Structure 1
Amino acid sequence: MQSRLAGVALQLAALATFVAMDTIIKLLTEGFPVVQVMWARFFFGVLTVTLAMKLITGQVPWRSRAPGLQTLRSLTLAFCNLLFTTALVHIPLADATAVGFASPLLTIALAAVWLKEPVGWRRWVGVGIGLLGVVVLLRPPFIFGAAPVHWAMLLPLGTAALFAVYQILTRKLAGVDDPRTTILHTSFAASLVTSATLPFDWVWPSAGGWGALAMLGVLGGLGHGLLVLAYARAPASLLAPMSYTQMIWAVLAGVLVFGDVPDLLTLVGMAVIAAGGVLVALPDRTRR
């Protein structure tokens, strides 16, 4: 029981860490180009993970049996973050986070089609409910009769689709490479691609700016480390539904840092997405 509670606490801490990282990203985009912020996240992320792995395991297993697939996975993550970071320039953090949570639902659909994984009808119902919540957030005028939301609300939807592809690629690599190799390659190609763009769009940071940019890599590495510890102490069936509490952290950060108070329709959309996601995540024995 104590192990499960520790797992839950670690999961919640990881989600809060990711929201803190997204909050810093949104703040940094007010003074730095989007690509420079992305570069910092990936570059300092690679440094953080490499150093941590060397200190903890004594090894840094870079060699991959599928370098092409690792590169494709890393570049998919890069474009995923490009869309999400661009969205944060224009829309509230909570809105972007909520729409992005369509990703687990799309992953289920892709796994059924691409990996031929069996998906029961109850999970398909959960996918449908979750996507209905996304529709509520996007508020198409032909349904709600109101002015359309900002165009940037579509960007997290693209993020969700790309992250679903990223998850499928991660599963395909699970039986090919050491998990540590996949972790090391996660940001490597993305850091190289974003580094190539820096001469064309660069703002020289102050000392504090460098610290904030470096913090992105530290928070990203810390968040993923906390997730690994959480899943080592508690079952995925308990932790997966709790990932939707990240929307609560995002709402709090949006209100406290940016003064973005979500309206009722946004909260309803978030609740519907979370309901669909929990239905998808519940183990089969719970729904019999």
Structure 2
Amino acid sequence: MAERLELRNLVIESDTPSTSSPVTPITSPKTQVNILGILLAALSSLFFSLSSLIVKWLSDVDPLELATIRFIGVLLPTIPILIYKNQNPFPKGQRLMLLLRSFAGATSLSLTFYAFRHMPLADASVIVFSVPVVVAIFARIFLKEPCGLFHYFALFLTMLGVLMITRPPILFGQTTKHNNFLGPLAALLSTFFAAIVYILLRALKNLHFSVIMTSFATYSILQTSGMAWATGGMCWPKCGTERLLVVALGVFSFSGQMLLTIAAQLEEAGLVAIARTVDVVFAFMWQIIFFNEMPNIFSIVGAVLVTSSVVLIGLRKWMMSMPTTSVVRKKFGFLLL
């Protein structure tokens, strides 16, 4: 118990080294935890991208039904962890925040599906993946997290990369058949609710991840299954292959959600949101491997930009852990702004 309390105190400490405290070695627990938050966020992107790959394969299954299956896959493995850790699924004083996190997450996913159905995929994608910008603003306002020159530069690289990858027709001069304003509105609202999720996860960092995931999955199952039933989209997967993919969807969803929840508890909300955009790069990898669709030069440049922003974040965290007298830290001090 003492070790757990010590680790928690290390997590919630500020990134900025104190001038009055002893120099912290690079291999200290604090350094490992900070770097771990970025790595877990990026790894969660891998699992979420695999989930998206399965959803693309299962084109005959209603998206809302797949969302329900995804949340079931998150809930079932989480319940034993909750019981083993002897956690209260409805802790006093934080029930409302858990409910808001669950509502925001389920609503964001539903609005994303609606946007993809009622507007060009490229336009919807660029709006949905602009969530780091909204998160940075919300984190600054509600969590008082720093947002200096480096953060703005990383956000710029990320958004420029996403724009190059998705190439929205509104910016690249392509015509579109969709003029319904409800699609873009749904995409914007999806981004808004997704940003709220990151902020709430950061605010709930003292809770065990199994508590957050249990409440989130339970509520989301009720919401998405109710919507699928109301629209007549509920059906049983047809063959053995589809059923195996459905099981894999649940496993990947649980893994990604668990890693994302822990990452948001360990790291600043804005940096976690930026690291999560790596799933754009993974998506193009699966496109080449499984669908034999080669990306053009715009997609390649965009993937490099998005990956570069995450690498720069990791480098900054590494340099922040160095002593103030470090030659490397002095040489690249502009990254610490």
TM-score range, shorter chain: 0.7 to 0.9
Deviation for aligned residue 1:165 = 1.4
SS at the partner of 1:187? helix
CA distance in 1, matches of 2:301, 2:276: 18
Deviation for aligned residue 1:254 = 1.4
One-letter identity of the residue aligned with 1:270: A
For normalisation by structure 1, the TM-score amounts to 0.74
CA distance in 1, matches of 2:236, 2:310: 42
Bigger Rg, structure 1 or 2:
2
1:33 aligns with 2:33: no
The structure where helix makes up a greater share of residues is 1
Q: Equivalent residue for 1:183?
A: 213
Identity across the alignment (%): 23
One-letter identity of the residue aligned with 1:25: V
1:264 aligns with 2:297: yes
Q: Equivalent residue for 2:324?
A: none
1:217 aligns with 2:250: yes
Match of 1:164 among 195, 201, 206: 195
Match of 1:252 among 285, 292, 303: 285
- Cα gap change, 1:150/1:252 in structure 2, threshold over 3 Å: closer, same or farther? farther
SS at the partner of 1:260? coil
Deviation for aligned residue 1:270 = 3.2
CA distance in 2, matches of 1:122, 1:214: 41
CA distance in 1, matches of 2:171, 2:261: 42
One-letter identity of the residue aligned with 1:163: A
The superposition leaves residues 154-202 of structure 1 with CA deviations (integer Å, 9 ceiling, x where unpaired) of: 9766544432211001122235x44431132222211111222343322
**Is the Cα contact below 8 Å between 1:123 and 1:279 reproduced in 2?**
no
One-letter identity of the residue aligned with 2:238: S
- Cα gap change, 1:148/1:279 in structure 2, threshold over 3 Å: closer, same or farther? farther
CA distance in 1, matches of 2:205, 2:39: 26
Unaligned runs of 5+ residues in structure 1 are: none
Deviation for aligned residue 1:47 = 1.3
Deviation for aligned residue 1:230 = 8.9
CA distance in 2, matches of 1:10, 1:134: 21
CA distance in 2, matches of 1:225, 1:73: 15
- Cα gap change, 1:227/1:137 in structure 2, threshold over 3 Å: closer, same or farther? closer
The superposition leaves residues 45-67 of structure 1 with CA deviations (integer Å, 9 ceiling, x where unpaired) of: 2112113444xx35353123222
One-letter identity of the residue aligned with 1:186: F
- Cα gap change, 1:90/1:213 in structure 2, threshold over 3 Å: closer, same or farther? farther
For normalisation by structure 2, the TM-score amounts to 0.65
**Is the Cα contact below 8 Å between 1:92 and 1:260 reproduced in 2?**
no
What is the aligned-residue RMSD (CA, Å)? 4.3
- Cα gap change, 1:235/1:97 in structure 2, threshold over 3 Å: closer, same or farther? same
CA distance in 1, matches of 2:237, 2:167: 38
Deviation for aligned residue 1:36 = 0.8
1:78 aligns with 2:106: yes
Q: Which moved more, 1:199-208 or 1:86-95?
A: 86-95
One-letter identity of the residue aligned with 1:73: R
Deviation for aligned residue 1:214 = 3.2
CA distance in 2, matches of 1:105, 1:194: 27
1:115 aligns with 2:143: yes
**Is the Cα contact below 8 Å between 2:111 and 2:190 reproduced in 1?**
yes
One-letter identity of the residue aligned with 1:130: T
CA distance in 2, matches of 1:212, 1:185: 25
**Is the Cα contact below 8 Å between 1:61 and 1:180 reproduced in 2?**
no
Match of 1:205 among 217, 234, 237: 237
- Cα gap change, 1:279/1:155 in structure 2, threshold over 3 Å: closer, same or farther? farther
Q: Equivalent residue for 2:224?
A: 194
One-letter identity of the residue aligned with 2:282: W
**Is the Cα contact below 8 Å between 1:45 and 1:216 reproduced in 2?**
no
**Is the Cα contact below 8 Å between 2:281 and 2:303 reproduced in 1?**
no
